[in-house]
Amino acid sequence: MHPMPTTQDNKLDYQQQIALHLMSAVVLLDDKLAIQYVNPAAEALLLRSAKKLIGIAFHDVFFNDSISDKRLLKILASGQEFTDNEVTLRLSDRSPITVEISASSVEFKNGPHILLEFKQVDQLKQISAETFQLHQWEAARDLIKGLAHEIKNPLGGLRGAAQLLSREITSEQQEYTTMIIDQADRLTNLVDRLLGPNQLAKFKMQNIHQVLEKICQLTQLDHNNQIKIIRDYDPSLPEILIDEDKIQQAILNIVNNAAQAVTHDGEIKFRTRIATNQTINSKLVKLALKISLIDNGPGIPLHLQDTLFYPMVSGRDNGTGLGLSISQTLINQHQGKLSCTSRPGRTEFTILLPITKENNYE
């Protein structure tokens, strides 16, 4: 039998657990500015383990002019706390990150210490921008779907009436009813595409490279082998639970755009990798499959970039603007994320598909 924990024990346990699970990085310095404690978020931020960090001088891991030794020591002398909003940190070989730093003094039994708290601002900004984008996209999609439904019903009636009428009239006059029927069919076709994919997904364990190879073949057939496809696959990727047809359609829409955009020296690179600790729809996903489709075309026009995934956004005269919207729907059905970065000469579409326990990945 365990003795009942006291309130004091509970409190200690809470404190330890909270420090372990905090999203912000916490670093404690002694009065010589040597690191005495880091929580796991700080280990992740500074890219070193607690073992390697404890005891070393703070400025051996952290370089920034605005957070000088003098300023930190002043906190101990005067108790003057500070918060710096947008501090850029360059840590080892990683690209710079922007953090908010708060510094305050804390008194312990063995003397005064400085408590530093880091919040990664660019990460927060990116997550909220992504959430906003996704909501906007859903609103646009729902609006168009609603509209498409409203058009579809009377359209059926119109076509039916034209068919009935064609039985009553002379064959010369039938030219007109045929025209009505043809145009109604054309509109129905468009409306169906606006309504988007409506079949339920059929998930199966699949090797993603097999799916990509099919897309390569289709693209080569469509473009008479005019486009160079470069494969950069990670052969160690596990199988993943997907609806093959849907993922194929999602990627094909992206690759078709790339093939239309590139000119004679056109190149499309298919890259696959494992990605860890990604945020997908504001959830942290430990393990994901990352598929990148990179082309060397002219890039996506700037004015399209913010609304690229909305239905009916197109930069081409005869485009419907539905391709990427459909890709987005299909990737969402897989709890994944579709994103894009583009500049002249390099456009990259990235698909993240979470690998979960159900995916049997060890």
Contact footprint for Mg ion (CB under 5 A) = 257, 323
Of 23-31, 58-66, 116-124, 321-329, which segment contacts ligand ADP by CB under 6 A? 321-329
- CB crowding 58-92: b at 16 or more within 10 Å, else e: beebbeeeebeeeebeebbeeeeeeeeeebebeee
Residue 316 CB-density burial (10 A; 0-12 exposed, 13-18 middle, 19+ buried): exposed
Q: Residues for the chain: how many in total?
A: 362
Q: Which of 97, 196, 321, 359 binds ligand ADP (CB under 6 A)?
A: 321
Instruction: Output the smallest distance, CB 269 to ligand ADP, in A.
Output: 12
Of 98-106, 118-126, 155-163, 299-307, which segment contacts ligand ADP by CB under 6 A? 299-307
**Residue 281 in tokens:** 């729809």
Residue 136 CB-density burial (10 A; 0-12 exposed, 13-18 middle, 19+ buried): middle
Instruction: Output the smallest distance, CB 333 to ligand ADP, in A.
Output: 17
Q: Which of 102, 279, 320, 339 binds ligand ADP (CB under 6 A)?
A: 320
Number of residues that bind ligand ADP (CB under 6 A): 22
Amino acid at 78: S
Strand ranges of the sheet holding 35-38, from the earlier edge strand across to the other edge: 35-38, 25-29, 111-120, 97-108, 82-89
C-alpha to C-alpha distances, 269 to 5, 188, 228, 255, nearest whole angstrom: 59, 36, 8, 10
**Residue 190 in tokens:** 């468009």
Q: Which of 38, 39, 297, 328 binds ligand ADP (CB under 6 A)?
A: 297
**CA proximity to 198, closest of 240, 131, 133, 141:** 141
Judged by beta carbon distances under 5 to 8 A according to partner kind, the member of ligand ADP, Mg ion, none in contact with residue 266 is none
Instruction: Output the smallest distance, CB 195 to ligand ADP, in A.
Output: 16
Q: Answer yes or no whether residue 190 interacts with ligand ADP by CB under 6 A.
A: no
Closer of 272 and 329 to ligand ADP (Cβ)? 329
| Residue nearest Mg ion, Cβ-based | 323
Q: Contacts for 159-163 with beta carbons within 8 Å, 24 or more apart? A: 159/184, 159/185, 159/188
- Cα 348 to Cα 342: distance, rounded to the nearest angstrom: 6
Q: Which of 116, 324, 330, 353 binds ligand ADP (CB under 6 A)?
A: 324
Q: Which of 315, 344, 358, 360 binds ligand ADP (CB under 6 A)?
A: 315
Q: Answer yes or no whether residue 258 interacts with ligand ADP by CB under 6 A.
A: yes
Q: Which of 55, 160, 319, 345 binds ligand ADP (CB under 6 A)?
A: 319
List beta partners, residue 343.
346
Judged by beta carbon distances under 5 to 8 A according to partner kind, the member of Mg ion, ligand ADP, none in contact with residue 321 is ligand ADP
Q: Answer yes or no whether residue 347 interacts with ligand ADP by CB under 6 A.
A: yes
- Cα 210 to Cα 244: distance, rounded to the nearest angstrom: 10
Q: Answer yes or no whether residue 140 interacts with ligand ADP by CB under 6 A.
A: no
Q: Which of 219, 253, 296, 350 binds ligand ADP (CB under 6 A)?
A: 253
- Cα 309 to Cα 257: distance, rounded to the nearest angstrom: 13
**CA proximity to 148, closest of 94, 198, 199, 203:** 198
Closer of 55 and 345 to ligand ADP (Cβ)? 345
Instruction: Output the smallest distance, CB 252 to ligand ADP, in A.
Output: 10
Instruction: Output the smallest distance, CB 328 to Mg ion, in A.
Output: 12
**CA proximity to 282, closest of 211, 341, 335:** 335
**Residue 236 in tokens:** 């160690």
Instruction: Output the smallest distance, CB 305 to ligand ADP, in A.
Output: 9
Residues 6+ apart with CB under 8 A from 197: 246, 249, 326, 329, 330, 333
Q: Which of 323, 334, 336, 350 binds ligand ADP (CB under 6 A)?
A: 323
Q: Which of 283, 316, 343, 346 binds ligand ADP (CB under 6 A)?
A: 316
Q: Which of 300, 331, 352, 353 binds ligand ADP (CB under 6 A)?
A: 300
Interacting residue ranges for ligand ADP, rule: CB under 6 A:
253, 257-258, 261, 295, 297, 299-300, 304, 308, 313-316, 319-325, 347
